[in-house]
Structure 1
Amino acid sequence: MAEKAAESLIELQPENGGHYVLLSNIYAKAGKWKEVAKVRDMMTGRKLKKIPGWTCIEVDNKNHKFSVGDYTHYMSKEIYEELKCLREKFEVAGYIPDTNFVLHDIEEELKLELIYTHSEKLAIAFGLIGTPEGMPIRITKNLRVCGDCHTFIRFVSLAENRVNVVRDANRFHHFKDGACSCTDYW
């Protein structure tokens, strides 16, 4: 049914790259990698681009923008070190990264590395080291926050005692004491 809906969207708006991405993600989630390749080839043939995901955070009156696997920030070393510490702490506390949100046909180990470098995780880590303890962290994301990052941010709110406010493409999420205002329906 999802495939038919996405195909109908493409038929109605063939110039909208988002519809192709939706269909590609449907195929990827189902493990249909040949179909993923066909959809991406269609996008290339029609010169359509996927909108890259990014996350923004304001710290000291400056906007800091992150993309997945970003190493361009002047504090990248510290950000990745903070992520490593959070990863170790949260996994001991029961956080299990959900690599189902990595829609690429790659090895599990690479999926883990990718999921830990999502833009929202980088922005949250920067917020933890760049703002005073106890201050709310507010980030904006141009796409929908993935389920794994949603869980990760819940852990941050509990373990780091931080309120986190995330504005994604669908809604506001207010994380406090390990819970989100969306009640995990995002």
Structure 2
Amino acid sequence: MFSTGMVPDGVTFVGVLTACSYTGKVKEGLDIFESMKSKYMVEPKTEHYACMVDLLGRAGKINEAVNIIEKMPMEADAAVWGSLLGACRTHAKLDLAEVAAKKLLVIEPENAGPYILLSNIYASQGKWNDVAELRKNMRARSVKKSPGSSWIEVEKRVHMFTTGDIRAHPEHSMIMKMLENLDVLLREAGYNPDGNFVLHDVDEEEKLYSLRYHSEKLAVAYGLLKVPKEIPIRVMKNLRVCGDCHTAIKLIAKVTEREIILRDANRFHHFKDGICSCRDYW
């Protein structure tokens, strides 16, 4: 834009900083953020600070992200604290996660997101009493968590899958058979289910059962059954794809020699030959 004489505005910088965040380009992002005001006379707003917190947080630079928040000339909003909370989830920074979650609960008391992310952190560390307390608070405030749901279009008809509810689909027996076949192929390829993504205090066998029936896995299994091999399998999901499903779908794409495109709540993931377009940086 600069080379052609076009002047970037605030929206332009949101896009560029988001791109830096998604690709791990920390130095480039910091340089661009610094240039906004000094070079382009664009005053950074809360959305730009949220991008910077996300950029630093994804890269594991949590303290630097906190410094950005502390130096903001305006009050941090939900997007800023949400970015910090997400980074704390990725890098298991429990103390800061609690701070960010409490800020979010004040700003958006009816939003289930902060409860879920903090619950994820507690669950990953086996703090089931804290998980139970969070759920109690959610019930007291009538905060509802949206169930994980995924959609796939086959022959101009949309099929919806909800986590753990496989029998709701009329072809559930075929889907279960496909999942069983995939289990064998995935284990031969070295896949080990990650029980940290199950948010219940249950034994390992139950955790593995729960992971198998995540909605995106159900939709992908149905796509393998119904979508011709020369056509990519395209799935939409209402929430962020979990880490275990991300690993599993990479391997599914490899062992079945299929292209799988998953659009979750944050971004597109294009799986092919055992690799995702996000390069596992998401």
TM-score by length of 2: 0.64
Q: Distance in 2 between matches of 1:174 and 1:115?
A: 21
Alignment of 1:5-154 (within 5 A): 5-70=100-165, 71-154=167-250
The match for 2:22 is none
| Regions of 4+ moved over 4 Å | none
Q: Distance in 2 between matches of 1:4 and 1:118?
A: 30
Q: Distance in 2 between matches of 1:90 and 1:31?
A: 27
Q: Which runs of 5+ in 1 are unaligned?
A: none
SS at match of 1:121: helix
Deviations 1:18-70 (A, max 9, x none): 22222222222221111111111111111111111100000010000001122
Root-mean-square deviation over aligned CA pairs? 1.0
Question: Which letter does structure 1 place at the counterpart of 2:108?
Answer: Q
Q: Distance in 2 between matches of 1:120 and 1:87?
A: 15
Identity of aligned residues (%): 53
Q: Distance in 2 between matches of 1:26 and 1:98?
A: 14
Count of residues in correspondence between the two structures: 186
Which structure dedicates a bigger proportion of its chain to helix? 2
Q: Distance in 1 between matches of 2:208 and 2:142?
A: 31
The match for 1:162 is 258
Question: Which letter does structure 1 place at the counterpart of 2:140?
Answer: G
Q: Distance in 1 between matches of 2:105 and 2:117?
A: 10
Deviation (angstroms), 1:178: 0.8
Which structure dedicates a bigger proportion of its chain to strand? 1
More divergent stretch after superposition (101-110 vs 24-33): 24-33
Q: Distance in 2 between matches of 1:165 and 1:77?
A: 24
Q: Distance in 1 between matches of 2:244 and 2:129?
A: 25
* Contact 2:260 2:271 survives alignment (8 Å): yes
Larger RCO (CA within 8 A; separation ≥ 6): 1
Q: Distance in 2 between matches of 1:31 and 1:129?
A: 37
More divergent stretch after superposition (12-21 vs 121-130): 12-21
Question: Which letter does structure 1 place at the counterpart of 2:265?
Answer: A
Flag the structure with larger Rg. Answer: 2
More divergent stretch after superposition (125-134 vs 137-146): 125-134
TM-score by length of 1: 0.96
SS at match of 1:65: strand
